[in-house]
Amino acid sequence: MEKFVYDFAEGNKDLKDLLGGKGANLAEMTNLGLPVPAGFTITTEACQRFLAEGAHVDGLDTEIDRHLAALEATMGKKLGDPGDPLLVSVRSGAKFSMPGMMETVLNVGLNDESVTGLSRQAGGNDRFAWDSYRRLIQMFGKTVCDVPGEEFEEALHDAKVAKGVKDDVQLDAGDLQELVTAYKKVFAKHVGHEFPQEPRQQLDLAIEAVFRSWNADRAVLYRRQERIPADLGTAVNVVAMVFGNLGPDSGTGVAFTRDPATGESGIYGDYLQNAQGEDVVAGIRNTLPLADLEKIDKKSYDELLQIMATLEGHYHDLCDIEFTIERGKLWMLQTRVGKRTAAAAFTIAHQLVDEGMIDLDEAVTRVSGAQLAQLMFPRFDLSGDPAPLTRGVGASPGAAYGSVVFTSEAAVAQAAAGESVILVRRETNPDDLPGMIAAQGILTARGGKTSHAAVVARGMGKTCVCGADELEVGRDQFTVHGQVVREGDVISIDGTTGRVYRGEVPVRPSEVVQYFEGDLDPALANEPLVAAVHQIMTHADERARLKVRTNADTGPDSARARRFGAQGIGLCRTEHMFLGDRRELVERLILAHTKTERDDALAALRPLQRADFLDIFREMNGLPVTVRLIDPPLHEFLPSLEELAVQVAVARERGEEAERDTRMLAAVRRMHESNPMLGLRGVRLGLVIPGLFAMQVRAIAEAAVALAAEGGTPRPEIMVPLVGAVQELETVRGEAEKIIAEVVGDSGVQVLIGTMIEVPRAALTAGQIAEAAEFFSFGTNDLTQMAWGFSRDDVEGAFFWRYLELGIFGISPFESIDRDGVGRLVRIAAEEGRSARPGLKLGVCGEHGGDPESVHFFHEVGLDYVSCSPFRVPIARLEAGRAAVESAGSDHR
Ligand code: PEP
Ligand code: MG
């Protein structure tokens, strides 16, 4: 028999797939003997079944009956009992945390009768009982029955106006009892029947609503953004209620065992006295720093610290927790390995190594290339000492500026129009998600590091400042310390310091980039972040099997990439050397009528190319440099057909001489292609235009010999693009070998000749091609283009949004390798290439070489190196190290 329900004592932290993160960790804490209210978890499988079948899951009811009875026995009360009711919370909890995206219903079990029982239980506290009841109707109405939340808020507002008070806490028991009546009317009006009084029915409906909330729009959007699979489903936790709103000796809070923004050790968190449930997370009321709890309730504070130490020691990581204090008794409501900023991820991993909690291998897996990329963003340059408008909590680091918008819709619309915007809200809620995604940064007036805005922004790596001082947010302007900032005005927000500035503050490079560049201010060398990056990168390099090269075609780019740790050049695109003032020479080459004209043009290009190569070889002295022979269609170097045609027509009209333009027009017409990316380019050019490849090969060999003569060690590799058949490569190779032998003589210089694998036919005949190639480099840009039949220059902007929406792929295959299709071609070519020529060197130089996910794939396939743009070299190094550590880990298992 399938089992759909687990008591907390039956689960553990490794059952996240089944029990969700919250359920698994509640179970783990229960088993650690920590004070967790009793409860049970309904599995993600039950949710999947419910969503698939659209209703009732056979057998679930009976299991819930049994576990509810056990819960009632443990607590010594019955659900909704009129005299002494057991109340429960019904909380969502998926495998991956999706903060605020799904639903929770608290106080289930309250009705017109048990509200009196609750009051008696609370020592005659009527106010508390009626407040709990009105919260249930509100949450239940919104979540379970889709009653618009504003209607409840309006009723609450009316109650406060009627009483002449501003704050909820000024409403007394009688006011709240009336509010319950008002809420029930709102409920009945929208739902068509009265608020359900039967506790068990409330529970069942709440459970189903949580199941359904898996498919709420905002949850779907969040999953797409975070690449969480759509079919996991959520678990549901049914937990005995404990109350943080029973008076000043009660309260609720959230805490982190280390600072999730910087990683510094010490406890961090927020506490709200006399408050319930989501009040802290929602950022609705301004919270106290957790340290203040020591003064309010020392016993609970000390116990909390003890528990936090236990949890860190157990999970070996930063934990975040939610807790409630009910009349001086501490209860743990949740824990999980906490989300953190990129800087904190590095710093914490480094600290945990120092503290002996984890080893260096583990530390490498605790950070990611995407996080490293975030640390390489620039920061504000405050040397002009701009005066901040205000300051809030630096909730998610980064430097962002843009024009102010006040709604999620405006953020989406203006970002779509290409503007950079800062979304300013009093506080955010899950409905603001589209605007948060579209904005450069988020600024809120309320809430702390654990508010919705902060948690979601950190997850997205987006700059966010929360709870800004004195910030009053209006409809189309905000005021702060007497200043007015209107919609459309530009502000800058610093997610690290929490400062907010008017206007655009200039930005400066990150210290992590300075560290990689080797020009770090010595004062920063001991910064925890720099020390952490140094330690983790050093270890990643030690572990990595994949080498990391760079795509560069100038001396300065090569030098920078080398400082960033590149172990050579994997792709030097020679066509970039034919632009600017050299374009004219290329035109001469293309327009040449006679052999002499062509030879002259080539002879003029050769010394220029040689100088380019020598520059690069010098910078990469001792390291391999793969130079690719010219690849793109030649008309890319010529003026546009339309412009030329107009020029010639106008000249004719005027009776002017236009001989050059006329010849050019004829040439451009001659070379015009309907599908140039599938036309005369790559190796085909070399076979069609006599002397072109020969000139390049000679320039490469000459530059290598020149470096050797200077005492250097050139390691040139000549790469032929767009090969689809071994015969193409053999032809080029035959000619190249002769030239190389002639130029190199007895200088000792060695030149390898290899090919790109970027045409599907090349991948499928790799065994034959390997006979003529000393190395393969996968051109996954073209390979993706040709495997999918997607024009790489057009499709991403044209229709990929629809493909992403339909889930045909989760990410553009031009960004991250399509393992099943393009990846399969890579695998086949690698295997067949290596079996034909053992020791064949294999690399990748398409954009995927710097994409974290793809690097793991290339590691698995057994390539020798990846090559990527200079800025992505550190990211690829880290991912290469992680891939090696992870695959060693899975071999052990
Ligand atoms: C490729 O196709 O992957 C490649 C690296 O070459 P290019 O992008 O220059 O076509
Ligand atoms: Mg290509």
pLDDT digits (tens, 9 = 90+) for 546-563: 999 999 999 999 999 999
Determine whether the shortest distance from the Cβ of 631 to ligand 1 is under 6 A. Answer: yes
Mean pLDDT of 636-643: 84
CA of 786 to the centre of ligand 2 (A): 10
Determine whether the shortest distance from the Cβ of 845 to ligand 1 is under 6 A. Answer: yes
Q: Which residues are catalytic?
A: 452, 845
pLDDT digits (tens, 9 = 90+) for 828-843: 999 999 999 999 999 9
870: burial class by Cβ within 10 Å (0-12, 13-18, 19+)?
Answer: buried
How far apart are the C-alpha atoms of 342 and 322, rounded to whole Å? 23
In this predicted structure, what is the pLDDT of residue 595? Answer: 93
How far apart are the C-alpha atoms of 344 and 710, rounded to whole Å? 47
Single-letter code of the amino acid located at 553: D
| Test site for ligand 1: of 629, 631, 788, most ligand atoms within 8 A of the Cβ | 631
In this predicted structure, what is the pLDDT of residue 130? Answer: 95
CA of 690 to the centre of ligand 2 (A): 22
Pairing state between β 421-425 and 329-337: unpaired
CA of 617 to the centre of ligand 1 (A): 21
Determine whether the shortest distance from the Cβ of 310 to ligand 1 is under 6 A. Answer: no
Nearest to 519 by CA among 568, 563, 558, 565: 563
Same domain for 647 and 620? no
CA of 722 to the centre of ligand 2 (A): 7
- Considering every ligand atom, which ligand is closest to the CA of 867? 1
Same domain for 187 and 118? yes
Mean pLDDT of 237-262: 92
In this predicted structure, what is the pLDDT of residue 99? Answer: 75
Same domain for 645 and 622? no
How far apart are the C-alpha atoms of 630 and 613, rounded to whole Å? 14
Indicate whether 368 belongs to any domain. no
How far apart are the C-alpha atoms of 42 and 10, rounded to whole Å? 12
How far apart are the C-alpha atoms of 487 and 473, rounded to whole Å? 11
In this predicted structure, what is the pLDDT of residue 419? Answer: 94
Report helix, strand or coil for 282: coil
In this predicted structure, what is the pLDDT of residue 74? Answer: 93
Return the percentage of the chain with pLDDT > 90, whole number.
Answer: 71
- Considering every ligand atom, which ligand is closest to the CA of 572? 1
In this predicted structure, what is the pLDDT of residue 798? Answer: 66
In this predicted structure, what is the pLDDT of residue 227? Answer: 74
Indicate whether 755 belongs to any domain. yes
Which residue reads 């290598």 in tokens? 704
- Which protein residue has the closest C-alpha to ligand 1 atom 6? 779
* Dihedral sign of CA atoms 306, 312, 318, 322 in order: negative
HSE of 289, CA atoms in CB hemisphere, 13 A:
7
Determine whether the shortest distance from the Cβ of 571 to ligand 1 is under 6 A. Answer: yes
Q: Which atom of ligand 1 is found nearest the CA of 778? A: 3
Same domain for 304 and 425? no
Higher pLDDT, 599 or 812: 599
Same domain for 799 and 764? yes
Q: Which atom of ligand 1 is found nearest the CA of 779? A: 3
Same domain for 827 and 868? yes
Same domain for 620 and 664? no
How far apart are the C-alpha atoms of 400 and 409, rounded to whole Å? 19
Same domain for 622 and 481? no
Pairing state between β 463-466 and 393-396: antiparallel
Q: Which residues contact 703 (CB under 8 A, 6 or more apart)?
A: 610, 611, 612, 613, 614, 617, 714, 716
Nearest to 332 by CA among 450, 268, 242: 242
How far apart are the C-alpha atoms of 236 and 103, rounded to whole Å? 10
Domain tally for the chain? 5
Residue 272: pLDDT above 50? yes
Region of poorest pLDDT, from 82-96, 502-516, 742-756, 800-814 = 800-814
Region of poorest pLDDT, from 158-172, 192-206, 274-288 = 274-288
Q: Which domain holds residue 668?
A: 640-672
Residue 893: pLDDT above 50? no
In this predicted structure, what is the pLDDT of residue 445? Answer: 92
Same domain for 840 and 747? yes
Determine whether the shortest distance from the Cβ of 109 to ligand 1 is under 6 A. Answer: no
In this predicted structure, what is the pLDDT of residue 695? Answer: 97
CA of 848 to the centre of ligand 2 (A): 12
Residue 675: pLDDT above 60? yes
* Dihedral sign of CA atoms 452, 453, 459, 460 in order: positive
Determine whether the shortest distance from the Cβ of 886 to ligand 1 is under 6 A. Answer: no
Determine whether the shortest distance from the Cβ of 846 to ligand 1 is under 6 A. Answer: yes
Indicate whether 552 belongs to any domain. yes
Residue 317 sits at the vertex; the CA angle it makes with 313 and 322, to the nearest 5 degrees, is 90
User: Which parts of 325-432 fold into alpha helices (H)?
Assistant: 342-354, 360-365, 369-375, 408-416
Q: Which atom of ligand 1 is found nearest the CA of 847? A: 3
Last residue of a domain, one of 212, 240, 268: 240
Q: Which atom of ligand 1 is found nearest the CA of 845? A: 5
How far apart are the C-alpha atoms of 508 and 383, rounded to whole Å? 10
In this predicted structure, what is the pLDDT of residue 410? Answer: 96
CA of 789 to the centre of ligand 1 (A): 15
Query: Within 10 Å of residue 809's Cβ, how many Cβ atoms?
Result: 16
CA of 778 to the centre of ligand 1 (A): 9
Single-letter code of the amino acid located at 209: A
Mean pLDDT of 166-177: 89
Region of poorest pLDDT, from 288-302, 425-439, 757-771, 777-791 = 425-439
Q: Which atom of ligand 1 is found nearest the CA of 721? A: 6
- Considering every ligand atom, which ligand is closest to the CA of 777? 1
Q: Which atom of ligand 1 is found nearest the CA of 571? A: 5
CA of 783 to the centre of ligand 1 (A): 8
Same domain for 692 and 651? no
pLDDT digits (tens, 9 = 90+) for 303-352: 999 999 999 999 999 999 999 999 999 999 999 998 898 999 999 999 99
Identify the CATH number of the domain in which residue 820 sits.
3.20.20.60
Identify the CATH number of the domain in which residue 49 sits.
3.30.1490.20
CA of 807 to the centre of ligand 2 (A): 27
How far apart are the C-alpha atoms of 19 and 3, rounded to whole Å? 12
Most confident of 132-146, 488-502, 752-766: 752-766
> Which pTM was predicted?
0.80
How far lies 256's CA from each of 314, 345, 357, 449, 541, in Å? 15, 13, 17, 10, 31
Determine whether the shortest distance from the Cβ of 573 to ligand 1 is under 6 A. Answer: yes
**Buried b or exposed e, range 457-475, using 16+ CB within 10 angstroms:** bbbbbbbbbbbbeebebee
Determine whether the shortest distance from the Cβ of 758 to ligand 1 is under 6 A. Answer: yes
- Considering every ligand atom, which ligand is closest to the CA of 854? 1
In this predicted structure, what is the pLDDT of residue 278? Answer: 61
Identify the CATH number of the domain in which residue 309 sits.
3.30.470.20
Determine whether the shortest distance from the Cβ of 781 to ligand 1 is under 6 A. Answer: yes
Mean pLDDT of 413-418: 94
| Test site for ligand 1: of 845, 854, 858, most ligand atoms within 8 A of the Cβ | 845
Residue 892: pLDDT above 50? no
Indicate whether 328 belongs to any domain. yes
Determine whether the shortest distance from the Cβ of 553 to ligand 1 is under 6 A. Answer: no
In this predicted structure, what is the pLDDT of residue 75? Answer: 92
Last residue of a domain, one of 182, 217, 240: 240
- Which protein residue has the closest C-alpha to ligand 1 atom 8? 781
Indicate whether 30 belongs to any domain. yes
Same domain for 651 and 691? no
Q: Using 50, 70 and 90 to split pLDDT, how confident is the model at 772?
A: very high
Same domain for 663 and 722? no
CA of 620 to the centre of ligand 1 (A): 21
The torsion angles phi and psi of 590, rounded to 5 degrees, stand at -70, -35
Identify the CATH number of the domain in which residue 501 sits.
3.50.30.10
Indicate whether 602 belongs to any domain. yes
In this predicted structure, what is the pLDDT of residue 667? Answer: 85
CA of 95 to the centre of ligand 1 (A): 38
- Which protein residue has the closest C-alpha to ligand 1 atom 5? 846
Indicate whether 22 belongs to any domain. yes
Determine whether the shortest distance from the Cβ of 397 to ligand 1 is under 6 A. Answer: no
How far apart are the C-alpha atoms of 877 and 364, rounded to whole Å? 11
What is the CA 433 to chain-centroid distance, rounded? Answer: 15
Last residue of a domain, one of 508, 531, 559: 508
How far lies 179's CA from each of 155, 187, 242, in Å? 7, 12, 23
- Considering every ligand atom, which ligand is closest to the CA of 575? 1
How far apart are the C-alpha atoms of 229 and 810, rounded to whole Å? 9
In this predicted structure, what is the pLDDT of residue 455? Answer: 66
Q: Using 50, 70 and 90 to split pLDDT, how confident is the model at 152?
A: very high
Element (H, E) at 665: helix 659-671
8 Å CB contact between 119 and 128? yes
Residue 589: pLDDT above 70? yes
Q: Which atom of ligand 1 is found nearest the CA of 758? A: 2
- Considering every ligand atom, which ligand is closest to the CA of 781? 1
**Buried b or exposed e, range 26-40, using 16+ CB within 10 angstroms:** bbbbbeeebebbbbb
- Which protein residue has the closest C-alpha to ligand 1 atom 9? 573
| Test site for ligand 1: of 756, 777, 783, 851, most ligand atoms within 8 A of the Cβ | 756
Report helix, strand or coil for 669: helix
How far apart are the C-alpha atoms of 730 and 763, rounded to whole Å? 16
Determine whether the shortest distance from the Cβ of 780 to ligand 1 is under 6 A. Answer: yes
Indicate whether 534 belongs to any domain. no
Q: Average pLDDT of the chain?
A: 91
Determine whether the shortest distance from the Cβ of 244 to ligand 1 is under 6 A. Answer: no
Q: Using 50, 70 and 90 to split pLDDT, how confident is the model at 28?
A: very high
In this predicted structure, what is the pLDDT of residue 283? Answer: 53
- Which protein residue has the closest C-alpha to ligand 1 atom 3? 779
